[in-house]
Structure 1
Amino acid sequence: MKLRVRELAFFFLLGAAASLVGDHSHVTTETTEYFTDAVPSVWSSPIWFPILVGAATASLAEIRLHLPNPRTDVTVRQGIAGVAAVIGTYVTTALVHGAPTVPSTTLIVAMAVIIWCVLGDGPSVVCGVLAAVIGPAVEITLAKAGLFAYHDDSDGLFGVGPWLPPLYFAFGVVVAMLGEIAAGGGRPNYRR
């Protein structure tokens, strides 16, 4: 393990908190609906949702540090921008849920590409692809199990949003960068 326990805890809490903002946006716009009251909720989400996203966040940050050439020149400012970009992209998926599939998915793909081009690097693609494959697969499984559903106009990818892979890709790229910041001391450099 390259990240310290306190850094892993920070990433877990960051992922959990950010997921609650995006998921609340999905619930309030009726992009998604939960069918279980068997577990406690946090804001609009069942407790398992922020736990899964928090665990994914901590895991991806650690994975990036085991890949070649972690950057040491990424800054806290870039990290803050990355978190804002991913939350903004997540909320955008809630706002476009009634839009036709091709334009709405293209918009999220474009946002993910910009996030990678501005904040990512080659190895961050590995974290992005892992998130883009595993995240939607978990959501598809949970939707098929009847725990929640996407609205009929947002379930074109085996019952989940077709824009989930690029959203998760952007998430993985940004979390990879955050892991690099934590490992490299995260130079503040607010002027960049």
Structure 2
Amino acid sequence: MKLSPLRLVILFAVGAFVAPFGDHGHVASGTTQYFPTSTPFIWDGPFWFPILVGLATVANAELRLHLPSPRTTLTVGDGVAGVAAVMGLYALTALVHHQPLVPSTLLVVALAALAWHRFGDKPALICGFATAVGGVAVESALVAAGVFRYADDIDVLLGVAPWLPALYFVFGIVAAQLGEIAAEVR
């Protein structure tokens, strides 16, 4: 581990705290629907969702610090802007639910490329792509297991929306950036 236990806990808390806000947008817009289970809910999502996001935040932060040339010039403001970008993109994916799928997906992918250019670097691409593949795989498995579903008009990529990899990609690069910031904060 490159980060101290305290910094790992802080990064976990950041991911876990902001996750329900984005997820709420998807539930409120009908983009996703969780099926009733014996699992307790936080707001309108299952309690395990923020835990998974917190763990993914920590994993990406640590992964980036094990890759070449972590940046040392990033500030807390860069981290706040990155989190805002993820949350904005998350909100956008909730808002485009009833829009034509191809242009909506193109918009999300284009914004993901811009976010990478602003918040990432070449090593962060590994974090972004790993998160995109892993996130889609986990969500596809949960959809297949009947835990939740995406709306019928957007579930065209292994049961999930085609813009989901781009959303996960941005999350991965921003979580990687948060790791770089956490390593530098004194």
The question of a shared fold, defined as TM-score above 0.5 by the shorter chain, is answered with yes
1:148 is aligned to: 148
Report Cα offsets for 1:129-178 as digits up to 9, x if no partner: 01010001100000000000001122111111110000000011111111
1:87 is aligned to: 87
Rounded Cα–Cα distance in structure 2 between residues aligned with 1:11 and 1:76: 12
2:121 is aligned to: 121
SS of match in other structure, 1:143? helix
Counterparts of 1:160-179 in structure 2, within 5 Å, are 160-179=160-179
Task: Judge which range, 129-138 or 153-162, deviates more.
Answer: 153-162
SS of match in other structure, 1:152? coil
SS of match in other structure, 1:154? coil
1:180 is aligned to: 180
Rounded Cα–Cα distance in structure 2 between residues aligned with 1:122 and 1:159: 30
Aligned residues with identical type, % of pairs:
55
1:62 is aligned to: 62
1:131 is aligned to: 131
Question: How big is the shift at 1:35?
Answer: 0.7
Gap regions ≥5 residues in structure 1: 187-192
Counterparts of 1:37-116 in structure 2, within 5 Å, are 37-116=37-116
Q: Give the aligned residue type for 2:79.
A: G
Rounded Cα–Cα distance in structure 1 between residues aligned with 2:183 and 2:161: 34
SS of match in other structure, 1:81? helix
Rounded Cα–Cα distance in structure 2 between residues aligned with 1:52 and 1:79: 20
Rounded Cα–Cα distance in structure 1 between residues aligned with 2:153 and 2:95: 12
Rounded Cα–Cα distance in structure 2 between residues aligned with 1:41 and 1:5: 27
Report Cα offsets for 1:62-99 as digits up to 9, x if no partner: 11100000000011111110000000000110000111
Report Cα offsets for 1:20-47 as digits up to 9, x if no partner: 0110000111111111331111111101
The number of residues matched between the two structures is 186
Rounded Cα–Cα distance in structure 1 between residues aligned with 2:39 and 2:60: 26
TM-score by length of 1: 0.94
Gap regions ≥5 residues in structure 2: none
Rounded Cα–Cα distance in structure 2 between residues aligned with 1:15 and 1:22: 11
Rounded Cα–Cα distance in structure 2 between residues aligned with 1:39 and 1:185: 37
Q: Give the aligned residue type for 1:141.
A: A
- Runs of 4+ in structure 1 over 4 Å off: none
Measured on the aligned residues, the alpha-carbon RMSD in Å equals 1.0
SS of match in other structure, 1:39? coil
Rounded Cα–Cα distance in structure 1 between residues aligned with 2:162 and 2:46: 22
